[in-house]
Each structure stands twice: as C-alpha cells, then as structure tokens.
Structure 1
Amino acid sequence: MQYPKLIAHTGCEGTSYNSLESCEAGVKAGAPILEVDVRVTKDNVAVLQHVDEPSVSQLNYEQLLETGQKPETLNRVLTQFSQLPVAFNLDLKTEEAGLAAIADVTATSTWSQVWFTGATGLIANSGYSRHVMWNLPKELSELDEVSYRQQAAELCQLAAEAKFGGVNLQYECCRPYLVQQAHLHGLQVWIYTLPYDQNLFFKYMDMGVDAVTVYEVKKFAALRAVMPEDGGA
C-alpha cells in the first residue's frame, strides 16, 4: 500500500480559512499539497475566498477592501510558496476565477505546483487540462454497486479523454472499483474531506487513493508510524 499524499484543507490546524497562516500551518504539519478557495473580483484579481459575501465579482479589489474584507490574493500566496516543495489545490468557486488563476500561475511561474478543482470548465478548455482534478458528482454515493460501476467506468473514460490529471470526489463516493478504473486510465484519485479516523484512513489507503484532503494534518501525518505491516512508504 502507498501512503496517500495529504492535502491540507484551508483552515487546517485551527487557522483562519484562506490565509497565509493556514498555508504555513499545512506545510509545517507535513502536507505536500495546500487547498485554497479562489474567486475573482470585477477587475480580475484572484482572491482567496469561499463565500460570495459581499459579491466579489461585482467589486474591484480596492472596493472589496473598503467593505472591511481583506482577502488574501492568489498571486501573493503563490509567490510566497513558489520556491518550496509544495503544491496547491486551487478550488475554483466560479468558472471566471479560472482565467484569473491562470494569469497568476503564469506570472509566478508555478505551473509545476498547481492543480485545479471545483468549477474547472474554462480550465479544461484552456490547454491546461492536465492540471484539472475533475470533481465527480456527489450522487455516486447513492448508487447500487452495478450502477456505480457503470457510472465510474464512464466518468473515468471521460476524464481520460479530456486529458485531466485525475478525479476529485467526496470520500463517501469512493469505492475500490472507481480507483481501479481511474488508475487504469492513468488518473490520480483525490478524496475529500476525511474526518480523523485511523481505520477509515487505512481503508482508503488500502483502496489506493493518491491524496486525501484533511483538516487535522498533524494527526494524519502521525499515522505513518502505525501503518499496517504490509504498508509501503
């Protein structure tokens, strides 16, 4: 078994969401991938923000600051971590945010460190599809095994044809057959957001998932010391 990479969910280790502090805490705790949420202002500044309050797309960045909000910019965060051995999961909250994110990733020369999840439609058609970790539907968790296998095979085929880097799905939706199909097509499998549970973690590790999004990075990182005897490094 391969120990999956840990993705530090924004706000990990009790820090503020979508902040430099959160990213720094994720790195310090041992996560090789950091997740942040991305939206775009009216003047095309990519900012780290989950909810659209106030309406980010209707305000210029300076106007956004005047509301009392002080969202971190994607450019600053990528610049801060551009020389470190860490990657980013940019969770795009709108399709338009993808274009602003592309501009910042290009400007900071961090393409080797970036993956996109969320609203990835524009990214998929921009020539950067291999950086997409395609979000699969939550309804997968409700399917019987026969229907699940049919859907999983079709989705993995579509992801491969689109030349995506992999798939991203809720952990409840992930079953062994999907992981097998994804890997047959050369796709990574990421799952989110796993609560801290040692047995649950080893269950998905046994399936062969490639990365797991978590809040409690330190606790999950410590599980390396108690891996099953047949586990691999």
Structure 2
Amino acid sequence: MGYRFPLITAHCGSMNTIDHTLESVQTGLRLGADVVEEDVRVTKDGIPVLAHDDEWVTVDGLKMSISQMLFDEFRELQFEVTHGEQRETIQICRLEDMFPLIQASGKVVNLDLKVDESIEPVASLVKQYGMSEQAFLSGCGMERAMLAERLNPEIRKLLNTDHDLFRTLPYRDAMVQTCEDALAASCFGINIHYSIVSQELMDYATSLGLPVYVWTVNEEDLMMQYADLGVASITTRNVAALVQLRQKMRGERL
C-alpha cells in the first residue's frame, strides 16, 4: 500500500482571505484542498449562513444578531470585520450559496455547527443538494452529536473533543472517554486540537476504526509531524504549504 497523506482541510479564511466568504472557499479549492471547513449559524427564519459569531456590526455601527433576524432583513447589508490589522466589509453569505462550488469541485465540506438549531436546516440542505457524500458535520460535542444522531442519523459527523476531559482526567481516561463518546453518538471520527494528539491516542482510535482529524496546523514542521503520526486530516489556514508538503512527502516515499 502506498503512503497515505492526510486529507488537507482548508480552514475558513485560509491564505489570508476573509473568513466566511466565497473567496475563501474558492481559494481552498483552487489550491488543492480535499475539504473546506466553514462555520455555520442559522437565522431566525431557519436559513443557514456562514458565520462564527452571532453578533455582527454594520458599517453604520448597528449591532445585529443573526439568530434574532430574518435573512432578508440583512442580506443586502454591509458588515465590518477585522482582517489582520485592517477593517473590511462583507455581506453575510448563505450556506446554500457555497454548495454549488463544492458540488462542482467534487470535494467535501466540513460544516462546523455553532448552534443546535442549525442541525435540521443544514441536514435539509445537504439532502436537497444530494451531498451526503460531500458533506459532514463538526462542531458537535457529545450533546450536539447525540441530538444530530436522533434528528438526522444519515448525516455523517465528527465528535468535537471536550478539552476539559484532558484537563481534569488522566490522559488515558480522557482518551478512552472521547472515543467511547464518539462511538455512542455514531460519529465516524474525532475532531481534536493537534496539541492533544499523541501516539497513544492515535493507536487507540485506530483500533476502534475512528479516524483522527486535527486542527489548526499552520507551521510546516508541525504539518510533517502530524502527517507522520497518521492523522486522517489536517486543518490549516496555510493551504499552499500543506499542499507542497504533500507533494514532497509523496515524492520521497514513491
């Protein structure tokens, strides 16, 4: 069997694009990412949108809450966002606006849910677009993962690691509990910050058939370290560097 490099997941806002924009999605796809990650919230009328935070500020200084407004109330508004050391303006984008890009690329989208209320409208869109093989959920702690399993068991999901477990329990106990929770909620793998991952966790998760997805790795030496560890996916903002590393490591192991 040939060497298998981890899936490359483009974090929203990769390569210094603005988070939660179609430009960010297109950039990740163009550079060769296998997966594009985007945060998802839902409006008062149930429209999934690309957003990490609930509260946004318009260019006129008006504060607005996604969860408390209808999409049509802010679809044409310009919002201020921090981009590096600059202030930029964007419009809030619907999840549905992104799906045709993913469909056409043949790649996959990682939908990082920020609220429970997004589960059903997101699942409905995934089914409407026939994208069950091109989309999965993340942002799911144990309770949200169990809720997603009850509401839409056909939609694939990762379990987001509870970092408090690793702060309060012995490492092995936290590792075992994480994997048990993932299996109990029918998650296909675990989503975890790279700093928590060890060879022991990799071996244990692999023995249970649970791939390990790590976030967010932007330095090349760390990319190489976790690729060698055998993680299933590396999420990064530095997509170009990870793509180059994939080419380099594959060439060395042919």
Identity of aligned residues (%): 28
Q: Aligned residue for 2:149?
A: 124
Residues 77-226 of structure 1 correspond to what in structure 2 (within 5 A)? 77-119=98-140, 120-121=144-145, 122-128=147-153, 131-139=156-164, 142=167, 147-198=170-221, 200-226=222-248
Q: Within 1, Cα distance between the matches of 2:167 and 2:14?
A: 29
- 1:31 aligned onto 2:33: yes
Q: Which stretch has the larger CA shift, 219-228 or 81-90?
A: 219-228
- 1:63 aligned onto 2:63: no
The answer on whether the counterparts of 1:129 and 1:162 sit within 8 Å (CA) in structure 2 is: no
User: How many angstroms does 1:140 deviate by?
Assistant: 5.4
Q: Within 1, Cα distance between the matches of 2:45 and 2:233?
A: 34
User: How many angstroms does 1:142 deviate by?
Assistant: 4.2
Q: Within 2, Cα distance between the matches of 1:129 and 1:184?
A: 24
Sort the Cα spacing of 1:74 and 1:139 in 2 relative to 1 into closer, same or farther, 3 A.
Answer: same
The answer on whether the counterparts of 2:42 and 2:48 sit within 8 Å (CA) in structure 1 is: yes
The answer on whether the counterparts of 1:2 and 1:231 sit within 8 Å (CA) in structure 2 is: no
User: How many angstroms does 1:141 deviate by?
Assistant: 5.4
One-letter amino acid of the structure 2 residue matched with residue 184 of structure 1: S
User: How many angstroms does 1:32 deviate by?
Assistant: 0.6
The answer on whether the counterparts of 2:220 and 2:241 sit within 8 Å (CA) in structure 1 is: no
Sort the Cα spacing of 1:129 and 1:188 in 2 relative to 1 into closer, same or farther, 3 A.
Answer: farther
SS in 2 for 1:112: coil
The answer on whether the counterparts of 2:220 and 2:245 sit within 8 Å (CA) in structure 1 is: no
SS in 2 for 1:43: coil
The answer on whether the counterparts of 1:140 and 1:173 sit within 8 Å (CA) in structure 2 is: no
The answer on whether the counterparts of 1:123 and 1:129 sit within 8 Å (CA) in structure 2 is: no
Pairing partner for 1:2 from 1, 4, 23 = 4
One-letter amino acid of the structure 2 residue matched with residue 57 of structure 1: S
Q: Aligned residue for 1:17?
A: 19
The answer on whether the counterparts of 2:166 and 2:174 sit within 8 Å (CA) in structure 1 is: no
- TM-score under structure 1 length normalisation: 0.90
Q: Within 2, Cα distance between the matches of 1:141 and 1:227?
A: 32
Q: How many correspondences in the alignment? A: 229
User: How many angstroms does 1:9 deviate by?
Assistant: 0.3
Q: Within 2, Cα distance between the matches of 1:142 and 1:226?
A: 36
User: How many angstroms does 1:11 deviate by?
Assistant: 0.5
SS in 2 for 1:227: helix
Task: Provide the aligned C-alpha RMSD in A.
Answer: 2.1
The answer on whether the counterparts of 1:93 and 1:118 sit within 8 Å (CA) in structure 2 is: yes
- TM-score under structure 2 length normalisation: 0.83
One-letter amino acid of the structure 1 residue matched with residue 208 of structure 2: H
Sort the Cα spacing of 1:187 and 1:51 in 2 relative to 1 into closer, same or farther, 3 A.
Answer: same
- 1:47 aligned onto 2:49: yes
User: How many angstroms does 1:125 deviate by?
Assistant: 2.0
Q: Within 1, Cα distance between the matches of 2:109 and 2:190?
A: 15
Deviations 1:123-161 (A, max 9, x none): 2322436611110022355478xx111221222122123
Q: Within 2, Cα distance between the matches of 1:171 and 1:136?
A: 11
Sort the Cα spacing of 1:189 and 1:59 in 2 relative to 1 into closer, same or farther, 3 A.
Answer: same
SS in 2 for 1:36: strand
Sort the Cα spacing of 1:171 and 1:100 in 2 relative to 1 into closer, same or farther, 3 A.
Answer: same
SS in 2 for 1:164: coil
User: Hey, which bits of structure 1, 4+ residues long, moved more than 4 A?
Assistant: 140-144, 228-232
